[in-house]
Amino acid sequence: MHNYIDYRKIERPLKFQNFTVEIGFGSGDYILKMAKDNTDEVFFGIEKSWIPVNKLIKKCRKYDLKNVFCTKLDAYWAFQFLFNDRSVKRIIMNYPDPWFKKFHEEKRLTRRENLYIYAKKLMLNGEIKIRTDDYAFVEFTLQESELIGCFSVSLSKPTIDKPLTKYEKRWLSIGKSIWDIVLIKDKEPIPIKIKEIREVKALFPVRIEKDKLNLQDISHREFKIEEGLYLKCFSVWKRDEDYALEVLLSENSFLQAFMIIIKKKEGYFIMDVSQFSEIFKSEGIKKSMDFLSKMLIKEIE
């Protein structure tokens, strides 16, 4: 298995058990050190941007590390898609909150939905270790964790002699206070309402029984298909009588950008997701294809 895990291609959930996850690994130095010091354990890094992911993959190759895996995905969805319940032993977050403003709370990695999904995936007595320089984030995390009802909590001010992350170096150099929060799962979490995505086994091409399509009502438009499901259509390209349409789908805030190909046949069209678009086959994509097929056969005024 390679270091990089593409959640769209791999068999899910992963078979890993009793492993450590670092969320927002940045430079990757912390996860690398853990992996080098514990070669018989598995370490899984989650990042929402490509630059840290590519850096980590490079470093894993350099040190020939076979016990480090990573993916580029929002942590909430990575936990939901990739891991078995009660399989993770430890979750690490170092300086996870660059969004210190109140209105950024919904992005925080420790909002209640995230803590709930982490708790589901943690083994009993598994732990979440968070290091932060931001006391407002500490207060927010403690409040949110209480709502999940499954953690015993401890808060301390660590003494750090050797900085391990880029942020640590920066905060120590300007004398900032640092806090460690440890949340230990001592029972299963109290169920709360969370966002989920339903995967479908296959996405079939859609047949459109018309010999002319209404594309003018679709290009550069946004549609609400149902609560939580929004489709944005960008440009339409035409070649002969075939079309390519660029779309962005937000399904319970999970974003997917892909191309839709519409091919002319004898008296009808066939619409399908382009084979070059890598997608997570979801119910939302199926619904958006059905929705578009209906829009495309509307009479042209």
Least Cα distance to 208 among 263, 292, 290, 270 occurs for 270
Beta bridge partners of 42: none
Least Cα distance to 219 among 209, 204, 231 occurs for 231
Q: Which is nearer to ligand SAM, 48 or 195 (CB)?
A: 48
Quick check: 26 binds ligand SAM (CB under 6 A)? yes
Q: Minimum CB separation from ligand SAM for residue 45, in Å? A: 9
Contact indicator for 39, 14 with CB cutoff of 8 Å: no
User: Exactly one of 12, 55, 86, 166 binds ligand SAM (CB under 6 A); which one?
Assistant: 166
Q: Which is nearer to ligand SAM, 81 or 269 (CB)?
A: 81
- Strand locations in 13-139 (E): 19-23, 43-47, 68-72, 88-94, 122-132
Q: Which is nearer to ligand SAM, 47 or 251 (CB)?
A: 47
User: Exactly one of 14, 32, 42, 52 binds ligand SAM (CB under 6 A); which one?
Assistant: 52
Quick check: 129 binds ligand SAM (CB under 6 A)? no
User: Exactly one of 94, 110, 256, 293 binds ligand SAM (CB under 6 A); which one?
Assistant: 94
Question: Which residue type does 188 have?
Answer: E
User: Exactly one of 6, 58, 98, 156 binds ligand SAM (CB under 6 A); which one?
Assistant: 98
**Alpha carbon distances (Å) from 233 to 10, 86, 156, 196, 220:** 28, 40, 49, 23, 5
Quick check: 141 binds ligand SAM (CB under 6 A)? no
- Strand locations in 164-228 (E): 179-185, 206-208, 221-226
Residues between 28 and 47 with contacts to ligand SAM, criterion CB under 6 A? 46-47
CA dist 142 and 17 (Å) reads 27
User: Exactly one of 23, 91, 206, 229 binds ligand SAM (CB under 6 A); which one?
Assistant: 23
User: Exactly one of 19, 44, 81, 95 binds ligand SAM (CB under 6 A); which one?
Assistant: 95
Q: Which is nearer to ligand SAM, 149 or 163 (CB)?
A: 163
Q: Which is nearer to ligand SAM, 96 or 189 (CB)?
A: 96
Quick check: 5 binds ligand SAM (CB under 6 A)? no
Q: Which is nearer to ligand SAM, 46 or 249 (CB)?
A: 46
Quick check: 144 binds ligand SAM (CB under 6 A)? no
CA dist 5 and 2 (Å) reads 7
- Strand locations in 13-101 (E): 19-23, 43-47, 68-72, 88-94
Q: Minimum CB separation from ligand SAM for residue 142, in Å? A: 19
The one catalytic residue among 29, 74, 97, 134: 97
Helical packing angle, 112-121 and 75-82, nearest 10°: 30
| Residue 97 is a catalytic residue | yes
What contacts 139, CB < 8 A, 6 or more positions away?
none
* Strand pairing category for 43-47 and 19-23: parallel
Catalytic residue ranges = 97
Which stretches of the chain bind ligand SAM, using CB under 6 A?
23-27, 46-49, 52, 74-75, 94-96, 98, 109, 165-167
